[in-house]
Structure 1
Amino acid sequence: MSFSSWVRGTRLYFHMVAASIRAQMQYRYGFFMNILGWAMSYAGTAVTMWVMLYSFQSLEGWSFWQLIFLFALAVLSWGVCVIFFFHFRSLDQYILNGTFDRFLVRPIHPFFHFMAMKFDVGAFGQLLFSIAAVTLAYIQLGLDWPFWKWGVFTSAVIGGTLIQGGILVLISAIAFWTTRSERFYWVVMFPAKSMMNYPLSLYPRAIQWVVTFILPFAFVNYLPALLLLDKPHPSFSSYWGAFSFAVGLVFFSICYQIWMMGLNRYKSAGS
């Protein structure tokens, strides 16, 4: 792709993002209720944690506010991920209906065209909750991070977005071979997201290794939280949390290449 084509494609991408936002803003009541609903849903999970720890005081050595930080860090990167990648889980519907073909005939890369199709601003509710929760946890825990820890935090947010986005891209790629993919979201992504709400040390050793070395969910929030909160783990070094961005970049690149392999074998299902 030439530089001029890349510039033109980038302009088209942001033009479609702006059109998506304007379309969602047409129904402002539903738009703001969607944001509020997301925020209240995650606030409910935080209340559940408080109720659980009211009697037990800690969970695997994690206090309430440490758990809130762990949870909010995952939600923060997931909120960014939802804005860009959440609709990838429904790619199979476009393939089945034959409407995916339109992404192949326009002057923008099909991947970025599909990504720009829906800019889910409703996820701002998740960002609202997670930013507030991280801020409160930071204050309640009396944290005073040096500059490098803020770098680790930023790296965790970006890396977590790439890891979770990569999973959604990988799930969507299955549709190129099977024409069905959304069910894998409920089998893989949904349970993994629920698992990330709590310390990884709660789970069997085999699961810990899978979500660290195969599907690297541990780099989304758990390993960075160990480093940021100065907490130990019996098997993993907390300094692994500093590599969230690198792991996310490599993992997303692999998922993207698999998606492109699927795209290259795509055959229209008709309309």
Structure 2
Amino acid sequence: MSGLFPNPSRRLLWATSLVATSAFLSLTGCANTRTTSAGAVGIDRPQFVSMVSAQDMETSSVKAYAAELNKARTAGKLNVNAQQVERVRAIARRLIPQTAAFRTDAPAWKWEVNVITSDQLNAWCMAGGKIAVYTALIDKLKLTDDELAAVMGHEISHALREHARERVSQKMATGLGVDLISIGLGLGSVGKDLVGMVSDVTISLPYSREHETEADRMGVELAARAGYDPRAAITLWEKMGSAGGGAPPELLSTHPAPANRMRDLEDYSRRVEPLYEAAKRRG
């Protein structure tokens, strides 16, 4: 008789690999954790991050960040404008202590803040607090300090929430399923480069809408706690949305629909308004 798997041994290997993959995914599906406290904005979604440790992510982020800085330095594009760099770092110095609202360990991270000359409207923060802001955000959009705090708070929130680790874990879980089947069929396994994956998920690949919404909400809280007007997030993203002609800027690649996003930002900006007023009174 003919069939997909005429060889009984190959049929058994295929069945075994499917059982192993199903068992693995079932177990990891239950291995969820909460990477942050809820904060005033109430972020409380359990996350699947167990495929890679936080330490491995941070170690790989240090290497990936160093590679990006070296590339910019070699091209003469790292921290070119000293006044601009100090402005960005001063905002970071106000935002970083406020990360304790979501993670008590975060203020003690080995934070680094650098500015890269680029015509891309982009910024990012790797695991452990490795921040890069591109000059186009400041120069092309003419950002106020409040708006710059909004975008930096947003990117810091991705790191606090370990979104990159979550994405890498999801990719690795999917890859392991493929590996198990490949091994069962005698096809070999797929190698993984964590440093490269960290760069991809942080800089190149868009975050999910769920991740972006969480970063939006946490970002306005960080800004408010640091004494920056949380409503600046609305004008920031309005500027982002009108920039770049027909092609959306990198930071808008997977964000919620503009109208929904503006409503959400308005809602959450109002929620953290008391934090902003309290920060202003403290001076």
Give TM-score scaled by structure 2 length.
0.29
Give TM-score scaled by structure 1 length.
0.30
Rg bigger for which structure?
Answer: 2
More strand as a share of residues: 2
More helix as a share of residues: 1
Does 1 or 2 have the higher relative contact order (CA < 8 Å, sep 6+)? Answer: 1
